[in-house]
Structure 1
Amino acid sequence: MDMYNFSAGPAMLPREVMKKAQEEFCNYRNSGSGIMELSHRGSLFTEVIERAEQNIRDLMNISDDYAVIFVQGGASMQFCMIPMNLLPAGATADYADTGVWGAKAAKEAKLFGNVNLACSSKETKYDHIPAFGEWKRTAGAAYLHITSNNTVAGTQYHQFPEVIDGVPMLADMSSDIMSRVINVNDFGLIYAGAQKNLGPSGMALVIIRKDLAERTPANVPTMLRYNTYIENKSLFNTPPTFAIYMLALVTDHFKAMGGIGEIEKINDAKAAKLYDVLDSSDYYRSPVARDSRSNMNVVWRMPTEELEAKFIKEAAAQGMTGLKGHRLVGGLRASIYNAMPMSGIDKLIAFMRDFEKNNG
């Protein structure tokens, strides 16, 4: 039986990547050692980390104005690193409160300086991205922080806010990084936990405009300074070598698929199929405004919580796991990141239709 993992993260990885990693796990490039056993300063790993960075630059069309670095601690570490490095004393940072993770990022930033919530959809349970005309942004803000895709609520920006001169836009793209084409030049900094679209958990990919890293105050600890990673090519200390290796394999795979443009077409088609089922039935209900629906995390509710529990149990028995909604909101959630094949969507849809027929 084919298994499909719909978990929000750590999420499924491309099967081809997992097989490649399995083949090389104990003997990487005939070295007699696995990649986790090799020196991070040796030639074999140097090739891996350089390939990982170049793949990211190629796939996302990143210029030399930006550094690409690998930082331990996942996206949550960036919640504090960003204000420590980029929020000067006396300045104000704007945050968009469009979900649980955006709220957590703003909470951390308040420990280091002034924070203005430019917008919030909390009162409506984060069911939409507020219209940009409603935002209240700070003149001369140190930066604007957004969360491009909200895994808990199932919302996503389908356009981005206007970039104001002198106010860099920073984005947590943990759950939709490399799922669609974006213009990196619109952002001052992009970060993403690896465990959804890029590889294993425990590491964040950070893409930062080099001039911003010069803002860092002198009292920020060495390991929390962006320039430490930039100047040492993410090798100041021993980096998460296996996570970087897996990211290199995943991005090799993305290139083989034809790049982000081709991946975006597949993701659009996957999401459209699943939302068509939700919209054609009163049995399944999407709580998300149509213009804010995520292509990565599709959430829905059913007539009763008992039916939801039964759905999750029976789906797992048929090889579809990870469909339980986040503990804060309940319901169901299908996370359909880049690695989820169309066959997984088709299997889920067939199960949904049969379940409604048998339990409606």
Structure 2
Amino acid sequence: MKTTELSTIWGHLQTATDWAVNLPVLMAGTEGGGQAKAKHLDPRTIDLNDTRSAVSFVDTDGDNVDWSEGDFFRSRNSKNYWASPDRGKIPFGWSCCFAHLSQLCPEAIDYAVATQSANDSFIEWGGGYYYPDLFGLKRSNRWELLARHAQRTWALMKKNNTRIIGFNVLKLDSADALKAYEVFAGQTDGLLAILVFQYDAYEAGAGKTFWVRDRNGIEVPVISARYSIWNHLNYRLRAGTPAKVAREIRQSVEETPGGELPRYDWVIVHAWSWFKSASGNDENAEDMPQEDAAAKGGQSVYGPVTWCAERLGPNIRAVGPEELIWRIRMKHNPEQTKKTVLNQ
């Protein structure tokens, strides 16, 4: 955290490239090359007559170039991630660093898009390692610097067709955070949403949504994570094992007044948390020692997410992040959202 904070306050960002290999070769010619374009949901296909509550699942750490170039797609460990034999079983949001990969390793994007299922979505994870609410804090032109970074990131996102960005902030409802959302969105045209989570704790926002506008005046939601799937955190509200989080999702829907339904929330899934499959009602049974979890058959990310989804029951759907966002926008401002959908 501290090293990222030190670069952030001076208006710089970091990249996780210290273990990346062959970058001079992989990045050669990227300025003139075309970009593979991720497939995305056509909002006109959403069944708005289905009024059940819904949740989306999104993994962490997609801003890691090393991981994206290495273990994430094809390796012994990637069966928990992109190479999971179950991938595509449920809708899922994969955090990614396509803005950086388009400059450093476009082959990774090519592979991701070529193997993308209809249930896979990509979310640009910040456009680098930095805290938007601290960006340029020590500089007199801090918001100009953030706007410049937003312009560059959005231009790269448009090239590879990613339309959602994720932010990690220190205090998600602070004046600086709210200003950062406003500045970033104001440099975009077609941004679907900002998914935001707080450094400590990821689920601290409890699903609260803020609204900002893009450069065309279209309202864009900034949606905080309500839940986090994270090992050994069952003592914390809205965090912990897949079984506990599933129960809390059901409970939230049950306790929400009828006039406020349906609920639309998202779950952030810690990439480095390992769990074991366990049936029954013991919400601690899925936890396991982390040190040798992989060797003992533990699973992370995609498998545990499917266990959580299976426990939601018939009245709560797992949907992709794009569908969740369109539903949130329709619920908030149906007239504007309908016009936006027609322009897709």
Instruction: Provide TM-score, normalisation by structure 2.
Output: 0.23
Instruction: Provide TM-score, normalisation by structure 1.
Output: 0.22
Instruction: Give 1 or 2 for the bigger CA radius of gyration.
Output: 1
